[in-house]
Amino acid sequence: MKIKKTNAARILDEAHIPYELKTYVVDPEHLEAPHVAEEVGMSAGQVFKTLCVRGDKTGVIFAVIAGDDELNLKALARASGNKKTELVHLKELLPLTGYIRGGCSPIGAKKHYPVFLSDTAEHWTQIAISGGQRGLQIIIAPQDLLSVVQGKMFNNR
C-alpha cells in the first residue's frame, strides 16, 4: 500500500532528513499516545505527542513530550520565556495549526510555531511523532527533528 505523503513528510524530504513512515489503524476512541505506541510497536516513552500551547508572551508554541508523560506547564513557561503557559482549547487546534487532535505534528503546521522537545527524547536514537494525520507516525532521530523545526530541548520536570 502506497502511503500518501503529508506536508510534514514533504518538508523532511526537501530538507534531506532521514525518516520512516509507519501507519496504523486509528481507533477514534483511543487517540492517546500510549495506544498509538502499542499500535506501532514502540514504547510509550518513545512515541511523542505534540501539544499546542499558548504562552503569555510568545503566543502559540508546540511542546513535544513522551506519550507516557504529562506536560509541566511551568517548566515549559520557563524554557520558552513565558511567565505562564496553557493548553490551547481543542476547538482552536485546527484553525491555528491545520491539524486535528490525534494528527498534530510539530512539522508543517499552517504557521511556523516554536517547538520545544522534551529532553527525554535524548534517551532514544529515534522517536515517533505524528505524521500530520491520524494513523501516520514519522520515525525520526530527535536531533533531526530539532534541526528541521529549529526547535530546542527543554526539561519537562
Residue 30 φ/ψ region, left for φ over 0, alpha for ψ in the -120 to 50 degree band, beta for the rest: beta
Residue 142 belongs to some domain of the structure: yes
pTM to 2 decimal places: 0.96
CB 86 within 8 A of CB 52: no
Regions in the chain scoring below 70 on pLDDT: 1-2
Nine-digit cell at 113? 510555531
The kind and range of the H/E element at 21 are strand 20-23
pLDDT at res. 69: 97
Residue 112 belongs to some domain of the structure: yes
Q: Which residue has the cell 506536560?
A: 71
Residue 33 belongs to some domain of the structure: yes
pLDDT at res. 1: 54
Q: Which residues contact 141 (CB under 8 A, 6 or more apart)?
A: 18, 125, 126, 127
Residue 73 belongs to some domain of the structure: yes
Residue 1 belongs to some domain of the structure: no
d(CA 46, CA 49): 10
Residue 2 belongs to some domain of the structure: no
d(CA 65, CA 153): 10
pLDDT at res. 2: 65
Residue 103 belongs to some domain of the structure: yes
Domain count, the chain: 1
pLDDT at res. 30: 87
Q: Are strands 48-55 and 85-87 parallel, antiparallel or unpaired?
A: antiparallel
Burial letters 40-68, b for 16+ CB under 10 A, else e: eebebbbbbbbbbbbbeeeebbbbbbbbb
d(CA 104, CA 92): 12
pLDDT at res. 83: 98
Residue 50 belongs to some domain of the structure: yes
> What CATH number does the domain containing 91 carry?
3.90.960.10
Query: For residue 56, what are the domain limits?
Result: 7-154
Helices (H), 72-152: 73-80, 90-97, 142-149
